[in-house]
Structure 1
Amino acid sequence: MSSKFCNQLFMGCGITGMKMLDSNSVPLCVTSPPFGNIRDYGGQEFYFKPMARELWRVIMSGGVLCWHVQDQVVDGRETGESINQAAYFLEIGFQLHTTLVVEGSVISKYQNRYGQPIQHVFVFSKGKTRVFNPIVDVPNKGAGQLQTFKERLREAIGTRLKGEYIKR
């Protein structure tokens, strides 16, 4: 693996940036691409299929891609774009290793549906994963309570600072 870009931050088009990388040189990519047209990204277009193909090229055998997406709601219905994207990753050769779900609130600004669509983190691998490091969670003092992400994060960080790790 080439280390010419290790520990460097680049700003620009992801496709153009990946073209600077060697093939099969990235062990892990964690990304959250635009969720449809929810925001204006300074007039920048998002080209999903070329992005997916470039990710396939740069991720090494046994490497992992974490793709965090959410469908838009248009006319009260979800677009299904996340499903289409996952299907395309499978079509070009990635394997679906696991799917994580980020649940939103059940309160909705729409009158004909429950809440916002869930967010998916599709964890793909290029072949069999080289490494698996399971998440070791900290005790959840707010289990069963509705908490914001910031509240849960603050609780988790505070617990770690006190040295109360879960022993395996």
Structure 2
Amino acid sequence: MTPSIYDFSVINIQGQEISLEDYKGRVVLIVNTASECGFTPQYQELEQLYKKYQSQGLTILGFPCNQFGAQEKGSSEEISLFCERNFGVSFPLFEKIEVNGENTIPLYRHLKTAAKGLLGSERIKWNFTKFLINKQGKVEHRFASTTKPMAIEKNILELL
């Protein structure tokens, strides 16, 4: 049986282990984020989508990552504070992770295999790559960093 995101656990930004099974039956958008990136303003649209559709079953999960241009240098506390202060982020954030290389967390190994990027590449190219997951925990779409969150609103609505 093909794994789903529900087969994985991750550590939230407060240091607690969270089973992704907690999001069963919800549409989930998973994003690798960074605080000092040209795409950082996407936090605003991610938060808009979250507020607009949370009650209908959308969850957004943000995974800070420092692998691209060292654009996420802060501690978990600093990242959390930055996101809250600058963008009013209320969706769940997780501890800083690696999305490429030998220290890639198991969830991201799964996401990259389930939804390959351009020309079949599994590698994450930059911050704010987005994976849209259906209510059964299966990866439906992968979106590039350049795809603005509001541009995938129609994809989210199809799954809600």
Q: TM-score, normalised by structure 2?
A: 0.29
More helix by share: 2
Q: TM-score, normalised by structure 1?
A: 0.28
Larger Rg: 1
Which fold has the larger relative contact order, with Cα–Cα distance below 8 Å and residues 6 or more apart in sequence?
Answer: 2
